[in-house]
Chain A
């Protein structure tokens, strides 16, 4: 389990990722802040604690794999890759600009450290299964993590893939759902209800874990539990808040699914996100 110091470090990294997200999306004047912010703590834990990876050798054969199936949350991945050292931070502000390697949705060929291109929802878990099957064939020990959106789980392919993971007993798969409860057109519950969500995964043959997706310690523990579970793939349903860390987005998640904040909003958002979290803070 992570030390107290590590937990604090991860919290601050997550805040830094959030700052990058706001800056990148404002610079691009387009993008998806809500679902990037909701995944920031999960992605921070993955890249700065959980994943076995080497930014100096992105193709290292024994690395853990991370597939970002919710490809519109590209900014949080780019921020984590840059902070990890896969490419210089200065490129972050080129997001969505012509000629940039930072495509609006994830393109594995344009940047180091990306395992799969995504953007058309529902495709990532299938690819993750393929990576896990290859790992099994090659007697490798790597874990394959796949982050999905909750709205994304309305795609049929997610459930085709869920059957595959369970059928082939791919316990090297850990799926994580960024369960922020909103999609473009409204709340997931109103648009097309997923409940009982955990039961669905359970009935598909998965080990289901729930956690607070903004409690980095809880995310660390859930990931560890998923990794150690044998015989079944594990899914972590991470309870999150769309727009987490930016109050006016948390309050109006539907307004910030796919829209950049204004310059004034940006200042407000960054002011809050630039506060360093100290040990004494109860802030998660």
Chain B
């Protein structure tokens, strides 16, 4: 077996932010006492005058970001996903989203692979609560290369965004940054006709792994990297439902209201086909090593393959 190359999406964020800082003096970065973990420390080192640590005060951070953005700055505000979504939800809703300001909330430590810190630090509900806010674009990149593309796109995009990254080193899905990336347009990574696996974040790599295994049983899986949860690529989802007749969604998030919920809404209204959601059941996580947690909470290639099996049985 060949060595799989890995990189944490948060590392790609830190590097890209420094590059952007060189190119665009309007970029300002805020953090809430987690700069070393979110990797905004790279920017702090390169551009100390354009970095502001807001201390342990996420609500104030989002409000400050809104004020900077209202004065023409492109603001990246970072913390862990739990705090950057839930703790500051109302500030994101009113100060950043209602105002359509250029606030890019880039959070790390999304999902259960936050690991040892335990349930309090594992954001398994953030996608659901963020995508419920009007005007807010929600993105979960699949790997470090895509993260770099997303962060660059975010700096050019006019409006508020929530971008969710991971703590752990995860497999590189793309071979480099040469692929075309567009906010709101899913990317089909593998063609197939029996079922479509729609995934986001670090689960895209797991989806590809499952598809490879299933191909040995002559099950032909299409795999889509649906990085943008909002606005959702409805056209692509409906096409996949029509062409493959079954859908499995995969996310490192609660099965309630996240990618699976969003895709289900589209499928039900436009092209009902058998569907299964792979994600964390409606429960809190716990401390443990990321890989152990992925196994315990049903987020492995094996779990995806089982879900594919279940929808294929229901497929006419």
- Judged by a CB distance under 8 angstroms, whether A118 is at the interface is yes
Contact A129 B90, beta carbon cutoff 8 Å: no
Assembled-state Cα–Cα distance A126/B60 (Å): 5
- Judged by a CB distance under 8 angstroms, whether A254 is at the interface is no
Task: Determine how close the nearest CB of chain B comes to the CB of A72; give it in whole angstroms.
Answer: 13
- Given the complex, which residues of B lie within 8 Å of A157, measured CB to CB? 57, 59-60, 63, 91
Contact B72 A123, beta carbon cutoff 8 Å: no
Contact B66 A137, beta carbon cutoff 8 Å: no
Given known contacts A130-B68, A131-B67, A137-B73, A123 and B95 CB-to-CB distance under 8 angstroms? yes
- Given the complex, which residues of A lie within 8 Å of B98, measured CB to CB? 107, 109, 117
Contact A127 B52, beta carbon cutoff 8 Å: no
- Judged by a CB distance under 8 angstroms, whether B94 is at the interface is yes
Task: Determine how close the nearest CB of chain B comes to the CB of A45; give it in whole angstroms.
Answer: 23
Interface residues of B in 85-107 (CB under 8 A from A): 90-91, 93-95, 98-100
- Judged by a CB distance under 8 angstroms, whether B54 is at the interface is yes
Contact B100 A129, beta carbon cutoff 8 Å: no
Choice from A115, A119, A134 contacting B68 with Cβ under 8 Å: A134
Interface size class of B (residues with CB under 8 A): 20 to 34
Closest to B75 in A: A130
Q: Which of A138, A157, A163, A167 has the most CB of B within 10 A?
A: A157
Assembled-state Cα–Cα distance A79/B98 (Å): 23
Choice from B28, B65, B99 contacting A116 with Cβ under 8 Å: B99
Closest to A122 in B: B59
- Judged by a CB distance under 8 angstroms, whether A135 is at the interface is yes
- Given the complex, which residues of B lie within 8 Å of A134, measured CB to CB? 28, 67-68, 71-73
Assembled-state Cα–Cα distance A130/B63 (Å): 7
Contact A163 B52, beta carbon cutoff 8 Å: no
Task: Determine how close the nearest CB of chain B comes to the CB of A87; give it in whole angstroms.
Answer: 19
Contact A126 B66, beta carbon cutoff 8 Å: yes
Task: Determine how close the nearest CB of chain A comes to the CB of B47; give it in whole angstroms.
Answer: 11
Given known contacts A157-B63, A164-B54, A164-B57, A130 and B94 CB-to-CB distance under 8 angstroms? no
Assembled-state Cα–Cα distance A135/B68 (Å): 9
Assembled-state Cα–Cα distance A124/B72 (Å): 17
Closest to A155 in B: B59
Task: Determine how close the nearest CB of chain A comes to the CB of B63; give it in whole angstroms.
Answer: 2
- Judged by a CB distance under 8 angstroms, whether B55 is at the interface is yes
Task: Determine how close the nearest CB of chain A comes to the CB of B24; give it in whole angstroms.
Answer: 13
- Given the complex, which residues of B lie within 8 Å of A167, measured CB to CB? 55
Task: Determine how close the nearest CB of chain A comes to the CB of B105; give it in whole angstroms.
Answer: 14
Assembled-state Cα–Cα distance A278/B100 (Å): 46
Contact A123 B71, beta carbon cutoff 8 Å: no
Interface residues of A in 80-136 (CB under 8 A from B): 107-109, 115-120, 122-135
- Judged by a CB distance under 8 angstroms, whether A161 is at the interface is yes
- Judged by a CB distance under 8 angstroms, whether A221 is at the interface is no
Given known contacts A123-B94, A130-B65, A130-B71, A108 and B99 CB-to-CB distance under 8 angstroms? yes
- Given the complex, which residues of A lie within 8 Å of B90, measured CB to CB? 120, 123
Contact A109 B70, beta carbon cutoff 8 Å: no
Assembled-state Cα–Cα distance A117/B54 (Å): 21
Contact A116 B72, beta carbon cutoff 8 Å: no
Task: Determine how close the nearest CB of chain A comes to the CB of B69; give it in whole angstroms.
Answer: 7
- Given the complex, which residues of B lie within 8 Å of A126, measured CB to CB? 59-64, 66-67, 91, 95
Interface residues of B in 268-283 (CB under 8 A from A): none
Given known contacts A109-B100, A118-B94, A126-B64, A160 and B57 CB-to-CB distance under 8 angstroms? yes
Given known contacts A117-B94, A134-B73, A135-B71, A129 and B64 CB-to-CB distance under 8 angstroms? yes
Proximity bits, A44-74, B CB within 8 Å = 1, else 0 = 0000000000000000010000010000000
Task: Determine how close the nearest CB of chain A comes to the CB of B215; give it in whole angstroms.
Answer: 50
- Judged by a CB distance under 8 angstroms, whether A168 is at the interface is yes
Contact B57 A127, beta carbon cutoff 8 Å: no
- Given the complex, which residues of B lie within 8 Å of A128, measured CB to CB? 67
- Judged by a CB distance under 8 angstroms, whether B152 is at the interface is no
Closest to A119 in B: B94
- Given the complex, which residues of B lie within 8 Å of A107, measured CB to CB? 98
- Given the complex, which residues of A lie within 8 Å of B94, measured CB to CB? 117-120, 123
Assembled-state Cα–Cα distance A156/B63 (Å): 13
Proximity bits, B153-184, A CB within 8 Å = 1, else 0 = 00000000000000000000000000000000
Closest to B98 in A: A117
Assembled-state Cα–Cα distance A12/B73 (Å): 39
Task: Determine how close the nearest CB of chain B comes to the CB of A106; give it in whole angstroms.
Answer: 10
Task: Determine how close the nearest CB of chain B comes to the CB of A245; give it in whole angstroms.
Answer: 30
Assembled-state Cα–Cα distance A106/B86 (Å): 24
Interface residues of A in 154-207 (CB under 8 A from B): 156-157, 160-161, 163-164, 167-168
Given contacts A117-B98, A131-B67, A161-B64, list 20 more A-B pairs with CB under 8 A: A61-B72, A107-B98, A116-B66, A117-B99, A118-B94, A120-B94, A123-B91, A126-B64, A126-B95, A127-B67, A129-B67, A130-B70, A130-B75, A131-B68, A131-B70, A134-B73, A137-B49, A137-B50, A163-B55, A164-B57
A–B complex contacts, Cβ < 8 Å, 26 sampled: A108-B70, A108-B99, A109-B100, A115-B70, A119-B94, A123-B59, A123-B63, A123-B90, A126-B59, A126-B66, A127-B63, A129-B60, A129-B64, A130-B63, A130-B64, A130-B65, A130-B75, A131-B67, A134-B28, A134-B71, A134-B72, A138-B72, A157-B60, A160-B60, A161-B60, A161-B64
Interface residues of B (CB under 8 A from A): 28, 49-50, 52, 54-55, 57, 59-73, 75, 90-91, 93-95, 98-100
